[in-house]
Chains A and B, each alone.
Chain A
Amino acid sequence: MKKNLLTIIISAVLAVIFVLLLFTFQVRTSEVAVVTTFGRTTREITEPRAFPFFKWPWPIQKVYKLDKRIQNFEDKFTEAFTADGNNLLTQVYVGWRITDAKAFFPKFAGGSTVAAERLLEDIVTAAKQSRVGQHPLGELVNADPRQLKFDAIEAEIRAQAQAQLALQNCGISIDYLGIKRLGLPESVTQSVFDRMTAERKGLADKLDAEGQAEARKIKSSADLAASKVISTAESKAREIRASGETVAADLLPAFQQNPELANFLSSLETLEASTRSKTTLIFDSRTLPFNLFTGSVTNK
């Protein structure tokens, strides 16, 4: 009998599990569930709860679970003309998710996100091209932040795509949209390169010219400064000499006492100074003290 009780418990548990599996389901926090009754969408469950959800077993009711997480998606790099006639390539990325499973589910076979992304791509690309066409290139690329309307254009594309999605009632909403790439057609890149090359050449020439001009400026200012220094020094030297002459002028009156002696002394000094070296002196017997020779020679 005891053995039978154990058997009964185990069977009961297994039966409960079987029933649970057959009649209940759970919805993950990242999922949204759609319940169909005989093929018609009857219920939508968006949030999990603390106990399982009930359903009638197949073939009465069927549960489809859709991923309601944000899906990342990007469109193709396509060309569009800007308002000022530039051919511009753009690519955007989109974060989208299912917000209305009841609307989404019948729209796309079996809730296929692949089919949804195909539609999304068409809508996003159309919105992108129409919005880019409303703006000149200078509003997408501009070094002046007041003229740059990058964020505004992104918001416009998103708003237009969102409006289109709402119009089609497909249960999708766009969480974020951003430009991923901007480009020019291949043929245009070459002319941009040509312009950039010319700019670089101009810049190189400018640098060369500026360097030389600057060098010349530095050199001439140096020459000017040097000549100023020299002329200042020369005038200072003149001043010094003049002050020396002033001192001399103060001393000169001393010689007034006897100008003759003064002349004599200065003559002597000059004589001595001028015959200091490499001098050939020719003299005759009248020169002092050689006049002493005179007598002896003539006496012979």
Chain B
Amino acid sequence: MSNEQPTPQPTTPVDSGSQALAEALRSSFSIVKFVMLALFVVFLFSGFFTVGPQEKAIKLRFGKPVGEGEQALLGSGAHWAWPYPIDEVIRIPITEIQEVRARANWFLQSSLQEARGEIPPAPMGTPLNPAIDGYALTGDGNIVHVKATLRYRIEDPVRCVFQFTVGTNETYSLAGISNAVQNMLENALVHTAASFKMDDALFDKIAFQDAVQRRVSKLVQDHKLGLVVDQCVVETRQPRQLDDAFKRVTDAGQRNRMAITEANTYRNQVLSRADADAAAAVDAAQTEKTFMVDRLTTDVASFRKLLPAYQSNPALFKQLRLIETMGRVFTNVQDKMYLPTTPDGKATELRLLLNRELPKQKTETAP
């Protein structure tokens, strides 16, 4: 191209017209040269690129990722690559925690309602419209709502990005892989529900959750999604239409436990009372025995002591003992009535009105 440049001879006289033309050509050509230089510089510097904090980049050389596994990922900062068509830089929006939520088998609930824990009402008698509310069928042919949230780690980012996509999306992102995981999570929910009885799905949530996690982990592994399942949180719920019916069962369960608790309390009371009564009966018998034996022993002892005295003069002994005893008796007795003997020596007639209602009162008439 440079040979096109006119080389004016200073010695050759030229007219002012050609002088002006040469001048114009020179200046325009220097513009072209500048543009070329600028293009070149731009071409070289176009190799620099920066990666932001919320993204990673993968460098492709002739279409192949540079580096393998985690090493293929370029972190935030400045990097350099050859310009196209040698190298190509692909940016991937990526966050630390990858999470998918499966809600296809749950009733319609906005994320705001879900965050607040609000359940949209569905009175008894409203059927479930499959176009609005999702649900799963259980192994015993019942209906339950199931949802899950899965957290996972990307193990093979190159595979995740270059093997999976969603729809007709030409860009590179993790949308394809998260879509695949989400579908497999829904499948795990449907499959687990289909193999569980409703009561197990609703009331043995840990077993249900474990089964879902096992299934989704297996699917992820079988289809080589290049990720690892970290945690799977599953929720199951009876249809809202049946809340009252389920509450009745809960109440019945409560009553059931209450009745049994009451019966147990009764048992404890009855048994402890019986134990106390039994101990008292045994103690009473023991006391009685001891008392009887002691008394008898004392009696025998005093009998033996008194026997010689009695044998020496039985009549006197008897009289003395009787008087002594009568003395004590008269001291103790509350009322004493003395009936003197009539002069004619006839017996005095005495009439007593006994009040039967005072059985403790003892009356004794001496002959």
Contacts and interface: CB of A to CB of B under 8 A. Distances in A.
Given A141-B138, A265-B302, A271-B329, A258 B143 contact: no
Interface string A146-178: 001011000000000000000000000001101
A230 B37 contact: no
A89 interface: yes
B14 interface: no
Contacts of B118: none
A218 B263 contact: yes
Contacts of B43: 13, 17
A282 B350 CA distance: 10
A234 B222 CA distance: 75
A70 B180 contact: yes
Contacts of B62: 26, 48-52
Contact of A189 (B1, B143, B278): B143
Given A69-B164, A179-B190, A258-B310, A148 B139 contact: yes
Contacts of A207: 249, 252-253, 255-256
B163 A205 contact: no
Interface stretch (B16-24, B92-100, B148-156, B269-277): B269-277
B63 A29 contact: yes
Interface stretch (A99-107, A124-132, A195-203): A195-203
Contact of A186 (B130, B194, B259, B365): B130
B326 interface: yes
Given A211-B259, A233-B281, A272-B328, A31 B63 contact: yes
A197 B273 CA distance: 45
Contacts of A215: 259-260, 262-263
B293 to A, nearest CB: 5
A297 interface: yes
B245 A230 contact: no
Contacts of B259: 211-212, 214-215
Interface string A48-85: 11111000000000000001011111100100000000
Contacts of A178: 183-184, 187, 219
Contacts of A271: 325, 329
Contacts of A119: none
A212 B302 CA distance: 65
Contact of A275 (B39, B166, B362): B362
Contact of B194 (A148, A180, A244): A148
Contacts of B286: 240
A70 B277 contact: no
B293 A248 contact: yes
A229 B278 contact: yes
B336 A281 contact: yes
Contacts of A21: 85
Interface string A102-130: 00000000001110000000000000000
Given A21-B85, A210-B256, 8 more contacts: A31-B63, A113-B168, A148-B195, A150-B194, A178-B183, A225-B274, A229-B277, A278-B334
Question: 6 closest Cβ contacts across the A-B interface?
Answer: A233-B278, A244-B289, A143-B139, A211-B256, A48-B63, A237-B285
Interface of A: 4, 7-8, 10-11, 13-14, 17, 20-21, 24-31, 48-52, 67, 69-74, 77, 89, 91, 93, 95, 112-114, 137, 140-145, 148, 150-151, 175-176, 178-187, 189-190, 192-193, 196-197, 200-201, 203-205, 207-208, 210-212, 214-219, 221-223, 225-227, 229-230, 232-234, 236-238, 240-241, 243-245, 247-248, 251-252, 254-255, 257-258, 260-262, 264-266, 268-269, 271-272, 274-290, 293-294, 297-298
